[in-house]
């Protein structure tokens, strides 16, 4: 189903504090992921692939890299005369204090944009989620069930994030009805709901308008948990690869999870391509003595050494005799000849000196910040 | 906005490229894929943008659909301009009758009104058949310094190929003393690259005269430049010494692709200072599986490689299954090489499938005794080569054929 009657709202700054090493120089949404993407690319592309043509993207701080990345929205075909992508940095005026502290406050600060959008429905999503849902299907199910609010739901282990929803459902002819909602600190097993909410726009607007003090309100408690009996809330199970980034380790494992062909097929289905800012890189050159095994490699790299079980971003150079194992190497990093790195995350533009050695533990990667020369 | 331009480019992209056989069955030659990411036309277009030329007329005639689709509004090359940018110029019906582009000079003649909208002092004429990186702005400076009517970019070509080109002799200042189009018996190996800069007033006058001459074949190299030379106009040769390759044949296209892997050849596409822009596909990074061998090759995003790839160029979205072997070959977007298949010295066009255990082409070492039978095998777009079957060296299979 074409979701062109839906306004998308993507919070680019969600849960940044959980990955300060990565989010220091940027927003959650602009953290590099999967060899050539930024985290925000996945949900933004999923929205566009469903036919959503109007997306609001509130940001909080350090949003320069996000602005640079999304630009005018061209890679997502969201550069439009009408609608399109609108990046919304904090704005201070009479009744708004500028930088907000929670999502309700953020929504309140952009209420004018929400009201003005000529859309009947609104889809709210968090920017720390890496998944590629079929939002057209979610909308179709939402309409068929007649729900007030549809939540995406994922069975399994909930991320260790504050305000994580664990839900109980009851089967119906259409989508299962949510009967209980617990607002938890996450890190528990069960059916959990990432912050992907679909509802009528007027329901969202009236909730925000009635919020006397948005700074103490939350969607989780005050919109969902509080109204679990009064509103018809349904759960739509995400038949998908879903990661909610809640720590550097989760980020690392989610990158390496893409080495599984089955998981890549879930995140990159042929009919829902993931768009990103293009760099017009040349193809990657694999040198005469290179040896690459079980790895994802983006364009524009030169590989002269060994790479095992790793994710290599665009424009990375790996020198002769160098060995890279179990690592995530972000764009334009350089690994000198004969250097060895193992279980490491190299942020962008890191230079690893020739013949040096860096290693982390298998479940606890060693992180090297942006622009470091080791 | 001011529409006047000092220099605009006219890119001749109408060529059929019939010597590329099945590769140009449904697309114009400038749209032929090259180098793992690009199409031939990306090189002249990127050269224009990198040289500061923001208005390019692309003259199409043969199979324009895919080319027009590829160019779109020019955004991929930063040529989506409010004024100027990329314009596709197809032949059209006029009151006096329909006229296809008869030849290169006639194609420009028919677009005089387009050129005049920009009121240029100079017009750069390009073709969509060559792989090279060149700063046209430097050539324009040379043209202005010499106060030339026409400047022709030139380079040395191997003597045995010289008769395929327009050849020229110049004096020390670069002024052209002799110009001969494709002579049977060359007396020089300094050849025209098919890149011309004309002072527009001069070009306009000679285009009109050429059109009014019923004996003319309306070709730049054959008619217009000799006419200018005979009339005593100032014609100059501009020396180019970088990599330049006419990819008009299967062999030269194959070779030009593998040149990207040859450390002795100076065509650097990984060059952020002179980027070659292209229309991107949204594909995830390449996945190199356990057990794969990828040595001395170029592999693009969207590929999945489990077999052995040696000295080859893989375009976006190519699959090489386990146990398959690919060497000295070019695999265009979406090509699939199934389990245990072998591809040696071949060009496999878009979305072609090489069935399990099939053998395409042969390695030159295995044919030392019949080297005259060895050559590049070509599998056309969308062709499915059946499991276990064979495509011989030099063989060319087109879509629609059973194999």
Q: What is the mean pLDDT of residues B182-187?
A: 94
Is B204 buried (19+), middle (13-18) or exposed (0-12) by CB count in 10 A? middle
CA–CA gap between residue B255 and residue B240 (Å, rounded): 21
- B369 min Cα distance to partner chain A (Å): 29
CA–CA gap between residue B36 and residue A297 (Å, rounded): 15
pLDDT of A97: 57
CB atoms A274 and B284 under 8 Å? yes
- For the cut 80, the answer to whether the pLDDT of residue B303 exceeds it is yes
Chain B from 341 to 400: CB within 8 A of any A CB: none
- The chain B residue lying nearest A313, using CA atoms, is B285
Tell me which chain B residues have a C-beta less than 8 angstroms from the C-beta of A287.
295-296
Q: List, for residues A130-184, the tens digit of each pLDDT value.
A: 999 999 999 999 999 999 999 999 999 999 999 999 999 999 999 999 999 999 9
| Spatial CB neighbours of B31, under 8 Å, sequence gap ≥ 6 | B39, B40, B41, B63, B66, B67, B70
- For the cut 90, the answer to whether the pLDDT of residue B179 exceeds it is yes
- For the cut 70, the answer to whether the pLDDT of residue A336 exceeds it is yes
Place of tokens 């005026």: A93
Chain B from 31 to 60: CB within 8 A of any A CB: 35-37
pLDDT of A8: 98
Q: List, for residues B14-44, the tens digit of each pLDDT value.
A: 878 888 999 998 899 999 999 999 999 999 9
Among residues A4, A52, A10, A5, the alpha carbon closest in space to that of A28 is found at: A10
pLDDT of A96: 55
Among residues A1, A12, A4, A134, the alpha carbon closest in space to that of A82 is found at: A4
pLDDT of B364: 83
Among residues A346, A307, A301, A303, the alpha carbon closest in space to that of A325 is found at: A307
- For the cut 60, the answer to whether the pLDDT of residue A199 exceeds it is yes
Tell me which chain A residues have a C-beta less than 8 angstroms from the C-beta of B36.
282-283
**Cβ–Cβ contacts within 10 Å for residue A370, how many?**
18
- For the cut 70, the answer to whether the pLDDT of residue A54 exceeds it is yes
CA–CA gap between residue B286 and residue A286 (Å, rounded): 12
Q: What is chain A's mean pLDDT, rounded?
A: 94
CA–CA gap between residue A121 and residue A7 (Å, rounded): 6
CB atoms A273 and B300 under 8 Å? no
Among residues B27, B248, B10, B186, the alpha carbon closest in space to that of B113 is found at: B10
What 3 state SS string does A104-148 have? HHHHHHCHHHHHHCCCCEEEEEECCEECCCCHHHHHHHHHHHCCC
Per-residue confidence at B94, pLDDT binned at 50, 70, 90? confident
CA–CA gap between residue B343 and residue B202 (Å, rounded): 52
Per-residue confidence at B95, pLDDT binned at 50, 70, 90? confident
**Cβ–Cβ contacts within 10 Å for residue A293, how many?**
17
CB atoms B285 and A273 under 8 Å? no
pLDDT of A196: 97
Helices (H), A211-335: 248-257, 261-267
Please answer whether residues B154 and B238 qualify as being in contact, where contact means their C-beta atoms are separated by less than 8 angstroms. Answer: yes
| Token couple for A42 | 């996945």
pLDDT of A70: 93
Beta bridge partners of B325: B308, B342
**Cβ–Cβ contacts within 10 Å for residue B289, how many?**
18
CB atoms A268 and B284 under 8 Å? yes
pLDDT of A197: 96
CB contact burial B65-78 (16+ within 10 A = b; e otherwise): eebbebbeebbbbe
Q: List, for residues A57-115, the tens digit of each pLDDT value.
A: 999 888 899 999 999 999 999 999 899 999 998 876 655 555 677 888 889 889 999 99
- The chain B residue lying nearest A293, using CA atoms, is B290
CA–CA gap between residue B149 and residue A364 (Å, rounded): 69
pLDDT of B191: 96
Among residues A137, A126, A175, the alpha carbon closest in space to that of A50 is found at: A137
Residue to substitute from B265, B267, B273, B284, interface A, most A β-carbons within 10 A: B284
Beta bridge partners of B378: B347, B396
What 3 state SS string does A150-168 have? EEEEEEEECCCCCCEEEEE
Q: List, for residues B359-390, the tens digit of each pLDDT value.
A: 999 988 888 888 888 999 999 999 999 999 99
CB atoms B296 and A302 under 8 Å? no
CA–CA gap between residue A128 and residue A163 (Å, rounded): 14
Among residues A356, A102, A282, the alpha carbon closest in space to that of B34 is found at: A282
- For the cut 60, the answer to whether the pLDDT of residue B336 exceeds it is yes
pLDDT of B401: 61
Please answer whether residues B141 and B236 qualify as being in contact, where contact means their C-beta atoms are separated by less than 8 angstroms. Answer: no
Q: What is the mean pLDDT of residues A228-251?
A: 94
Three-class SS of residue A332? coil
- Which residue among B275, B299, B304 sits closest to A283, beta carbon to beta carbon? B299
Residue A200 phi/psi, 5° resolution?
-70, 140
- A66 min Cα distance to partner chain B (Å): 19
Give whole-number Cα distances, A50 to A41, A84, A195, A237, B151, in Å.
14, 14, 18, 17, 53
CA–CA gap between residue A254 and residue A247 (Å, rounded): 11
Q: Characterize the bridge pairing of strands A164-170 and A96-97.
A: unpaired
Tell me which chain A residues have a C-beta less than 8 angstroms from the C-beta of B276.
280, 282
Tell me which chain A residues have a C-beta less than 8 angstroms from the C-beta of B351.
none
CB atoms A293 and B37 under 8 Å? no
CA–CA gap between residue A123 and residue A148 (Å, rounded): 12
* B227 in contact with chain A, both atoms CB, cutoff 8 A: no
Per-residue confidence at B97, pLDDT binned at 50, 70, 90? low
Three-class SS of residue B219? coil
- The chain B residue lying nearest A261, using CA atoms, is B287
CB atoms B286 and A280 under 8 Å? no
Per-residue confidence at A5, pLDDT binned at 50, 70, 90? very high
- For the cut 60, the answer to whether the pLDDT of residue B13 exceeds it is yes
pLDDT of A93: 63
Element (H, E) at A317: strand A317-318
pLDDT of B403: 56
Tell me which chain B residues have a C-beta less than 8 angstroms from the C-beta of A259.
287
Tell me which chain A residues have a C-beta less than 8 angstroms from the C-beta of B296.
286-288
Residue B52 is given by DSSP the state T
Give whole-number Cα distances, A319 to A43, A84, A287, B298, B366, in Å.
35, 43, 10, 16, 34
Residue A337 phi/psi, 5° resolution?
-55, 140
Percent of chain B with pLDDT over 70: 98
Q: List, for residues B132-147, the tens digit of each pLDDT value.
A: 999 999 999 999 999 9
CA–CA gap between residue B308 and residue A316 (Å, rounded): 23
CA–CA gap between residue A43 and residue A46 (Å, rounded): 5
Give the ipTM.
Answer: 0.94
| Spatial CB neighbours of A220, under 8 Å, sequence gap ≥ 6 | A163, A165, A181, A183
Among residues B91, B76, B124, B375, the alpha carbon closest in space to that of B254 is found at: B375
CA–CA gap between residue A269 and residue B283 (Å, rounded): 10
- For the cut 90, the answer to whether the pLDDT of residue B49 exceeds it is yes
Domains of chain A, each with CATH number or no CATH: 6-267 (3.90.550.10), 285-368 (2.160.10.10)
Q: List, for residues A343-374, the tens digit of each pLDDT value.
A: 999 999 999 999 999 999 988 899 999 999 98
> Which is more confidently placed, B400 or B46?
B46
Query: C-alpha angle A10/A15/A17, rounded to 5°?
Result: 140
pLDDT of A233: 97
pLDDT of A333: 98
* B212 in contact with chain A, both atoms CB, cutoff 8 A: no
* B68 in contact with chain A, both atoms CB, cutoff 8 A: no
Task: Judge if pTM exceeds 0.90.
Answer: yes
CB atoms B286 and A281 under 8 Å? no
Tell me which chain A residues have a C-beta less than 8 angstroms from the C-beta of B314.
283
- For the cut 90, the answer to whether the pLDDT of residue B258 exceeds it is yes
- Which residue among B282, B294, B301 sits closest to A298, beta carbon to beta carbon? B301
| Range from A208-217, B65-74, B214-223 carrying the lowest mean pLDDT | A208-217
Q: What is the mean pLDDT of residues B91-96?
A: 76
Chain B from 255 to 314: CB within 8 A of any A CB: 261, 269-270, 275-278, 280, 282-292, 294-301, 304, 309, 313-314
């Amino acid at each position: 189903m074409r979701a062109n009657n839906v306004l998308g709202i993507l919070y680019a700054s969600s849960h940044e504090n959980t990955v300060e090493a990565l989010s220091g120089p940027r927003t959650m949404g602009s953290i590099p992921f999967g060899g050539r993407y930024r985290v925000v690319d996945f949900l933004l592309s999923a929205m566009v692939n469903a036919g959503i043509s109007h997306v609001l993207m509130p940001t909080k701080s350090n949003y320069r890299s996000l602005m640079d990345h999304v630009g005018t929205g061209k890679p997502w075909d969201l550069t439009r005369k009408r609608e399109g992508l609108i990046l919304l940095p904090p704005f201070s005026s009479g009744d708004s204090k500028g930088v907000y502290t929670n999502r309700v406050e953020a929504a309140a600060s952009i209420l004018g944009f929400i009201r003005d959008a000529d859309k009947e429905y609104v889809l709210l999503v968090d920017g720390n989620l890496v998944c590629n849902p079929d939002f057209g299907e979610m909308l179709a199910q939402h309409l068929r069930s007649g729900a007030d609010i549809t939540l995406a739901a994922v069975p399994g282990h909930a991320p260790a994030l504050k305000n994580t929803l664990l839900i109980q459902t009851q089967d119906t002819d259409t989508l299962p009805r949510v009967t209980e909602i617990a607002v938890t600190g996450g890190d528990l097993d069960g059916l959990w709901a990432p912050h992907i909410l679909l509802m009528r726009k007027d329901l969202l607007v009236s909730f925000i308008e009635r919020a006397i003090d948005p700074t103490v309100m939350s969607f989780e408690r005050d919109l969902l948990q509080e109204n679990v009996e009064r509103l018809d809330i349904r759960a739509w199970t995400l038949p998908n690869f879903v990661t909610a980034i809640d720590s550097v380790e989760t980020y690392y494992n989610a990158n390496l999870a893409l080495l599984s062909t089955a998981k890549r097929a879930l995140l990159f289905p042929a009919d829902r391509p993931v768009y990103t800012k293009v760099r017009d890189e040349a193809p990657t050159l694999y040198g005469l003595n290179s040896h690459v095994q079980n790895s994802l490699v983006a364009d524009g790299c030169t590989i002269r050494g060994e790479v095992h079980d790793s994710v290599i971003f665009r424009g990375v150079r790996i020198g002769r005799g160098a060995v890279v194992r179990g690592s995530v190497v972000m764009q334009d990093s350089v690994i000198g000849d004969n250097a060895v790195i193992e279980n490491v995350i190299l942020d962008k533009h890191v230079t690893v000196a020739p013949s040096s050695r860096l290693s982390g533990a298998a479940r606890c990667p060693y992180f090297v910040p942006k622009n470091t020369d080791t | 906005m001011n529409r006047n331009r000092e220099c605009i480019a006219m890119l001749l992209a109408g060529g059929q490229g019939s010597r590329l056989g099945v590769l140009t069955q449904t697309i114009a030659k400038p749209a032929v894929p090259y180098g793992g990411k690009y199409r031939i036309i990306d090189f002249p277009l990127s050269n224009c943008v990198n040289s500061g030329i923001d208005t390019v007329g692309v003259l199409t005639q043969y199979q324009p659909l895919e080319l027009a689709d590829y160019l779109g509004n020019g955004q991929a090359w930063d040529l989506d301009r409010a004024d100027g940018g990329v314009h596709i110029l197809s032949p059209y019906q006029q009151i006096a009758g329909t006229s296809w582009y008869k030849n290169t000079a006639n194609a420009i003649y028919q677009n005089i009104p387009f050129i005049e909208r920009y009121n240029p002092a100079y017009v750069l004429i390009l073709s969509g058949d060559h792989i090279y990186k060149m700063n046209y702005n430097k050539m324009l400076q040379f043209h202005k310094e010499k106060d030339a009517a026409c400047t022709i970019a030139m380079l040395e070509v191997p003597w045995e190929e010289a008769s395929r080109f327009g050849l020229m002799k110049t004096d020390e200042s670069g002024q052209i003393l002799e110009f001969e189009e494709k002579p049977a018996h060359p007396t020089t190996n300094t050849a025209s690259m098919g890149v011309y800069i004309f002072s527009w007033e001069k070009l306009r006058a000679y285009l009109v005269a050429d059109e009014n001459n019923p004996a003319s074949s309306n070709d730049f190299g054959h008619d217009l430049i000799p006419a200018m030379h005979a009339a005593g106009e100032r014609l100059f040769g501009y020396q180019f010494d970088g990599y330049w390759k006419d990819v008009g044949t299967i062999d030269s296209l194959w070779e030009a692709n593998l040149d990207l892997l040859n450390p002795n050849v100076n065509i650097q596409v990984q060059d952020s200072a002179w980027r070659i822009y292209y229309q991107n596909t949204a594909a995830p990074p390449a996945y190199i599986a356990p057990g794969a061998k990828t040595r001395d090759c170029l592999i693009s995003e969207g590929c999945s490689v489990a077999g052995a790839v040696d000295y080859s160029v893989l375009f976006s979205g190519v699959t090489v299954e386990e146990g398959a072997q690919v060497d000295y070959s070019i695999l265009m977007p979406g090509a699939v090489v199934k389990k245990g298949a072998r591809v040696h010295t071949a060009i496999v066009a878009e979305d072609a499938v090489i069935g399990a255990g099939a053998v395409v082409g042969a390695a030159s070492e295995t044919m030392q005794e019949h080297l005259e039978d060895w050559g590049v095998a070509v599998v056309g777009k969308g062709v499915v080569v059946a499991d276990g079957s064979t495509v011989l060296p030099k063989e060319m299979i087109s879509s629609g054929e059973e194999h």
